[in-house]
Amino acid sequence: MKLLRFGPAGLEKPGLLDSHGQIRDLSALVDDIAGTVLTAQELAKLQALDIDALPVVDPAVRLGPCVGRVGKFICIGLNYADHAAEAGLPVPSEPVVFGKWTSAICGPNDNVELPRGSVKTDWEVELGVVIGNHCKYVSEASALDYVAGYCVVNDVSEREYQNERGGQWDKGKGFDTFGPIGPWLVTKDEVQDPRALDLWLEVDGRRYQNGNTRTMIFGVAAIVSYLSQCMSLQPGDVISTGTPPGVGLGIKPSPVYLRPGQTIRLGITGLGEQQQRTVSIG
C-alpha cells in the first residue's frame, strides 16, 4: 500500500495510490497519514478497504510530505563506507545520529530554498524509515516489527554551516525545505528487503549518485534497535538512514554545489521519485 498526502501546504488530506496510479481520497476515513493511523492495527484496516470505492483525486494535485505531524526527524550520518571515504572521515563503529528540524519537512516536489548567502548547499538521496508502533529498548531481531514503511528522503545539507560554522551538524541540516519526504509511504509488506534497494540522484540531468542499500554499514533493523536504546520512538517518527557516495562535497577535484534554478531528481526502487527546483530566497 502506498499512502500519501495531497493538497496545499498545511492543508493536506490523506490518500493512497491505487494499482492504476490514481490518487484516492481517504479523508472520510482517517484525519491524516500520521500518528496512530500508522500503527499495525490501523494500517490493516486501510489495507482491507475497497479501494475502487474511494473518490479519485485530480492527478495534477500537489503532493505533500507523505507523513504528517512528524514528532522526530532523525538522521544517520556516514552510513555508507564509500560515502565516509569521500567525506574524508573514518567508518563509524556506531551509528552517527543527528536531527533535522521538523520545520525542514516539505513535499517531494516542492522548491528547495537555498539559504541567504549559501554557496555550499548539497544533496543526499536517502532511504527513509517511518515508525508505526511505539518502541523502546527493542532488539535488532524484532526491530522491523515497529516499522510502518519506507519513503524517499532528500537530506539537503548546507556544508558551510554543517562543517565550518561551529556547533554540530544539525545547523547545516535543518533549514526550511531541507527535508523533502515522499512521494508516498510504502508499507513494509511491499518492501521485501530494505537492504536491496537501488537509490539515485541527478542534478540537471547529470547522474551524481548511484547506490544500493546493501552497502549500508548499519541496516534498518540495527538502526531502529540502536535508536530505541537512546529514545522512545513513536508512530510517525521518520528516520533517514544515510546516503551513498556522489554528494557534491565529495566531487573531485572540486566540490559541486547547488545554484538557483537547478532541477534535482531522485528516487529509490519501488518507493517513487522526487523532483525539486532550487530557488534563491535573497
What are the helix (H) ranges across 14-123?
A: 40-47, 81-86
Looking at residues 3-26, what average pLDDT do you find? 98
pLDDT tens string 171-214: 999 999 999 999 999 999 999 999 999 999 999 999 999 999 99
Please choose, from the candidates 247, 123, 100, the residue with its C-alpha nearest in 3D space to the C-alpha of residue 170.
100
Residues pairing with 184 in the sheet: none
Residue 282 confidence (pLDDT) above 80? no
Domain ranges (residues) in the chain: 67-280
Ramachandran region of residue 194, left (φ > 0), alpha (ψ -120 to 50) or beta?
alpha
pLDDT of residue 167: 79
Please choose, from the candidates 54, 22, 267, the residue with its C-alpha nearest in 3D space to the C-alpha of residue 150.
267
pLDDT of residue 120: 97
As given in the structure block, the three cell numbers for residue 191 are: 518492501
pLDDT tens string 37-79: 999 999 999 999 999 999 999 999 999 999 999 999 999 999 9
Looking at residues 110-120, what average pLDDT do you find? 96
pLDDT of residue 234: 98
Residue 22 confidence (pLDDT) above 90? yes
pLDDT of residue 44: 97
CATH annotation of 67-280: 3.90.850.10
Q: Quick one: DSSP state of residue 201?
A: E
Banded pLDDT at 25 (limits 50, 70, 90): very high
Looking at residues 116-137, what average pLDDT do you find? 97
